[in-house]
Amino acid sequence: MSTSTTDRVALVTGGSGGIGRAVAERLAQDGLAVAVHYAGNRARAEETVAAITAAGGRAVAVGGDVADENAMSAAFDAVESAFGGVDVVVNTAGIMILAPIATFDLADLDRMHRTNIRGTFVVAQQAALKVRPGGAIVNFSTSVVRTQLPSYGAYVASKAAVEGLTLTLARELRGRDITVNAVAPGPTATPLFLDGKDDATVANFAEATPLERLGRPGDIAEAVSFLAGPARWVNGQVLYANGGLA
C-alpha cells in the first residue's frame, strides 16, 4: 500500500509518452500532484495532464531541455509555484541510438549522452537542491547494462553512468531523508524500444524472459511507485524491472 498523500508532488521528466506517461499517471493515482515534463511536444504533455485531471488528479505541464540547467531550474520553480514544493523526481527522459561501437557516429554519441548523462545529472542536481525531506529521486538505467547486447554499447555507456551517479548521490544526501534509486527496465513495449525492430526481433525479446512477454509501461510505473512511496528503506539501489531477464 502506498504511503503517498495528496500533499506530495512529483516531477516526471519525459512524462509526455511511453514509460514517462505511465509513471505520471500512476503517481497521480497514488495521490501525488504531478508535473508532466516535456522537451518539445507540449501537446502530448497536455494530453497526459488532461488524462490525469479527468481521473480526478492534479497535474500541470512544464517544459525545458533536461540538459539545460537554466531551463530545468525554471521548471522546478514552476512546479514549486504550482504545488508548493517537490517531493519526488523521476528521470525518465532519455534517447536510445543503436549501432556497433566500431561504426558508431560520434555526433549521435554526443547527442545521446547529452540527454542521458548530462540531462540526468542536471535534473538530479536540481533535485538534490530542492526535493523536500521524505522525498525520492528515481533515475532510469536499463537492463542491457547487465545483458550487454551487441549494438547497445553507446547506450549502455550512458546508462552505466546514470547508475554511478545514482549510487553516489544517495550517499551525498546523507541526513536529508531522501532516497535515490534507479530503475533498470527490460524490453518494454514502448515506441523507444519498438522503433526499427521487426516482428521476429520483438518476439525473441519477449521469449527471453521467463514470463514470456514484453514489459508494459505500467509494469515499470509500478516499480517507480514503490520507490517513490513506501520503499523508504530502499536507497542507493538499481531495481531491475525486467520479468526475470538474466
Helix (H, G, I), strand (E, B), or coil: what is residue 119? helix
Distance of CA 60 to the CA centre of its chain: 18
Question: In the chain, helix, strand, coil percent, each to 5?
Answer: 50, 20, 35
Sheet of 33-38: strands edge to edge? 59-63, 33-38, 9-13, 86-91, 131-140, 179-185, 238-241
Q: Which residues are catalytic?
A: 155
60 phi and psi angles, rounded to 5 deg: -140, 160
Residue 21 CA to residue 92 CA, distance in Å, equals 9
- The count of residues in the chain is 246
Distance of CA 218 to the CA centre of its chain: 13
Burial class (CB in 10 A: 0-12, 13-18, 19+), 133: exposed
